Amino acid sequence: MTEKAIEAKKKGQKKSSEDYTYIGMVFHRLTRHKLAMAGVFMLIFIVLFVFVGPLIWRLDPNAQIEGLEGLFNPASRAHPMGTDDYGRDVLARMFFGGRISLFIGFASAISSTLLGAIVGLVAGYYGGWADNILMRFTDAMLSIPTFPLLIALASVFGKGVWQIILVIVVFGWMVDARLVRGLVLSLKEQEYVEAARAIGASANRIMWRHLFPNTLAVLIVSTTIGIGGNIIYEASISFLGFGVQAPFASWGNMLQNAQQFIWNSPRLIIYPGLAIFMTVLGFNFFGDGLRDAIDPKLKL
């Protein structure tokens, strides 16, 4: 805390925005953003559900209850969300499916942002033909309808968690690349970059130590929103049958299995869908709030 802030505190005044560090200021503005806070609470709930839930509810998500009586049980004390078509406990599958869905969302969003950042940094910093080739390629990738190709790749490589992540990353980096390139084009003209070049910093060092940190705020927002979008992608791929394969659960493939039982056991559809919906909504609320919080033009 600066002296001014301490003084202000003595007088009983509120902190003004000058008294914060950048991160402190963003955090402060974020806490005043109602929807962002709603998003945070939703995400905390989901994370607790998925990670703490299995510690309390210790049923094997793949264990099947023997006999016909075990199938399609409605909600009961033994199975709060009932059992599915193989007599597996739906609640336990929701925990494990959620972990996989969240992991795929996180890993793919972070990797595609990084890949996009690399392309954007190189294109923006070097300019010239490198920029030309990279951006032409980015434009081409942007004009291909992503989803059909995603399915084509998933149908070949799919089936595993890592492969799904890879497939999502291949088609997920373009927007970030453009974003970073745009920022780098204006950043690299600034004096501090010239100063760094003057004392002999290497291109790599300038890109990663001087330019990249300045794009982080924007990239974090895009990653946050990307996580939500990628969870839907994973669910969509799994829903069409090319995603994470049985017996492993993901929210997406739980929905795919449940589709045929829509007439008799609608709850098998309602739970995983609701979980995906809440998670994605949480990330969207939070990401949007974050965007507002780092935008200096907005008053919060």
Partner 1 sequence: MRDYIIRRVLGMIPLILIVMIVSFGIFSLVPNPFAALIENPRIKKADIQRLIKAWGFDLPWYLRFFKWFSGVIRGDWGPSLLYPGSTARDVIARRLPVTMRVMGLELLVSLVIALPIGIISAVKQYSMTDYVVTVFSFLGMSMPSFWLGLMMMMLFSVVLKRPSGVPLLPAGGIITPGLEQAPFWVKLGDRAQYLVMPVFVLSFLSIGYYARYMRSSMLEVVRQDYIRTARAKGVPERSVINKHALRNAMIPIVTLIALSVPGIVGGAAITETIFNIPGMGSLIIQAEIKADYPTAMIGLMLSSVLVIVFNLVADIVYAWVDPRIKYS
Q: What is the DSSP string of 15-35?
A: PPGGGS-HHHHHHHHHHT-HH
Identify residues 206-235 at the interface with partner 1 (CB under 8 A). Answer: 228, 232, 235
End-to-end CA gap in the chain? 22
- Rank residues 65 and 149 by Cβ distance to partner 1 and give the closer one: 149
300 binds partner 1 (CB under 8 A): no
CB 242 within 8 A of CB 158: yes
236 binds partner 1 (CB under 8 A): yes
d(CA 122, CA 98): 36
Helix (H, G, I), strand (E, B) or coil at 200: coil
Identify residues 273-292 at the interface with partner 1 (CB under 8 A). Answer: 273, 276-277, 280-281, 284-285, 288
Q: Which stretch binds partner 1 (CB under 8 A): 54-62, 68-76, 192-200, 259-267?
A: 259-267
Nearest distance from C-beta of residue 21 to partner 1, angstroms: 28
Helix (H, G, I), strand (E, B) or coil at 81: coil
Q: Which run of H or of E encompasses 41?
A: helix 34-51
Identify residues 113-172 at the interface with partner 1 (CB under 8 A). Answer: 136-137, 139-145, 147-149, 151-153, 155-157
- Rank residues 87 and 229 by Cβ distance to partner 1 and give the closer one: 229
CA dihedral 179, 181, 186, 190 (to 10 degrees): 120
Residues that bind partner 1 (CB under 8 A): 35, 136-137, 139-145, 147-149, 151-153, 155-157, 228, 232, 235-236, 239-240, 255, 259, 262-263, 266, 269-270, 273, 276-277, 280-281, 284-285, 288
